[in-house]
Amino acid sequence: MAFATKNINWKPYEVIYSAGDDPDAVYLIKEGTVILYTPDGLKLNEIGDKEIFGESSIILNTKRTVTAKTGKFAVFASCIPRKNFLQLMENDAALSAILRKTQLRLMDSNAQSQDLSDEIEKLATLIEKTKSDTKQVDKIIDSIKTKLSANKYTD
């Protein structure tokens, strides 16, 4: 099935969309790099040529969960409107299920990354403030270890 797309260009360091925005399209990068950030500014990923972004919120019917911004060079992409992307998914139930499951896993991974980043930031701040108060530092380190252990693969 053919679907309508339009080409779009963004300048370097341009915000494409922000976390909390309503999703209107999926984008296929033809040239350039797009960086994805959590709402708190944690860099999650850098994607480039022949990769898509913006699909998660359309697949899961949510607002944008990340901010997408161009890198230090301009980006040239194809824009696939929401309606067209949903039609593609409707036409292939198996592909739709795979994409949905992948997006749920990705969102969970992003949340875990943000959570660990927050813990590390707390630890760094505490170390700077209280270079002698090891009880609080030990508590945060134990919390980080627990979170990392809970996410490790073991046989």
> For every one of its 155 residues, what pLDDT tens digit does the chain have, with 9 covering 90 and above?
456 679 999 999 999 999 999 999 999 999 999 999 988 888 888 999 999 999 888 888 889 989 999 999 999 999 999 999 888 878 877 776 777 777 777 777 777 877 887 887 777 777 777 666 677 777 877 887 777 666 554 43
| Domain CATH for 34 | 2.60.120.10
Closest CA to 48 of 31, 62, 36: 31
**Into how many domains does the chain fold?**
1
Could you tell me whether strands 34-37 and 43-47 are parallel, antiparallel, or unpaired per DSSP bridges? Answer: antiparallel
The residue range of the domain holding 41 is: 6-92
Residue 79 placed within a domain: yes
**Is residue 73 in a domain?**
yes
pTM above 0.95, yes or no: no
**Is position 98 within any domain?**
no
